Amino acid sequence: MSENANELIAYSLHPNQLADVFPEPAPIPRDWMDSAHQRHPYRCLPLVIANQCGWVLRCPVGFEAYWYGGPGKGDLELRFDRPDNRIVSHFGSGVITFTVPFLFRTPPGINLWVKGPANWIKDGVQPLEGVVETDWLTSTFTMNWKMTRVCEWVRFEQGDPFCMLVPVPRGLIESFVPRVVSIESEPELKKQYKQWEESRSGFLVGLTSQNPEAVARGWQKDYFQGKTIDGKSVESHQTRLSVKPFQENPKS
């Protein structure tokens, strides 16, 4: 076990498989964002941050999946570019199961949200997500994708991310006391919101009417730059995450 309270450990169960399924910091780029007009999606900072928010595991082999629509294991056909037994039809119902060759250990009270890669789209198949108590569990888990198209081939390329790992504090969501109140109860917040609303509306009108100043500006960057409506900078604002890579310890 680690003496570092913030250490996330991946115990390798099959060292010979580390080369092609090694956890790495989730990357910023997405193909659909790259191909968008002027790469506009990258202006959406919440998307960009979510893309990086964890670690990914990548597919060790290219393969195609075909679901005949039935509930049985045999109703899912898998065709591999080369033989590989780490991706199987185990649960039936059109579910593709990926072996995760690690036993993860998180600090006390920290779960792992095991999910599909954020904002990574694959037509015809949907990642199934789970939250695992990895601070005490002594067994592994799998990553699963559910086919959503019947009688259509869906392809995973070698190197496609199939799993994203995001640490989350256990009990955090339950600790919140949510409530809905009228914005009238916070006059200063309402004032700031109205200032933003007017600024946004004016900017959109300017774009529509081809106002030279609005066109030259292109987009409103206040949130991206971490600036409040009155121009103050937010010190804790992030535009990029520095997620540390896993280090392989040959002595472990």
Model pLDDT for residues 141-200, shown as the tens digit of each residue: 999 999 999 999 999 999 999 999 999 999 999 999 999 999 999 999 999 999 999 988
Q: Residue 46 and residue 228: Cα distance in Å, rounded?
A: 16
156: helix, strand or coil: strand
DSSP code at position 193? H
44 has pLDDT over 90:
yes
Q: Is the dihedral of CA 165, 27, 227, 218 positive or negative?
A: negative
Nearest to 102 by CA among 17, 8, 163, 11: 11
Q: pTM score, two decimals?
A: 0.92
Q: Is the dihedral of CA 131, 135, 137, 139 positive or negative?
A: positive
Q: Is residue 109 within 8 Å of residue 90, measured between CB atoms?
A: no
The whole-chain average pLDDT of the chain stands at 94
Looking at the DSSP bridge assignments, the partners of residue 125 are: 147
**Angle at CA of residue 17, ends 16 and 20, nearest 5°:** 135
More confident residue, 183 or 251: 183
Q: Dihedral angle at the C-alpha atoms of 107, 113, 119, 125, nearest 10 degrees? A: 140
Task: Give the model's pLDDT for residue 4.
Answer: 67
**pLDDT tens sequence across 198-210:** 988 888 888 888 8
Q: Residue 238 and residue 144: Cα distance in Å, rounded?
A: 31
98: helix, strand or coil: strand
Tell me the DSSP string of 126-149.
EEE-EEE-TTT--S--EEEEEE-S
Q: Residue 29 and residue 157: Cα distance in Å, rounded?
A: 16
Task: Give the model's pLDDT for residue 3.
Answer: 52
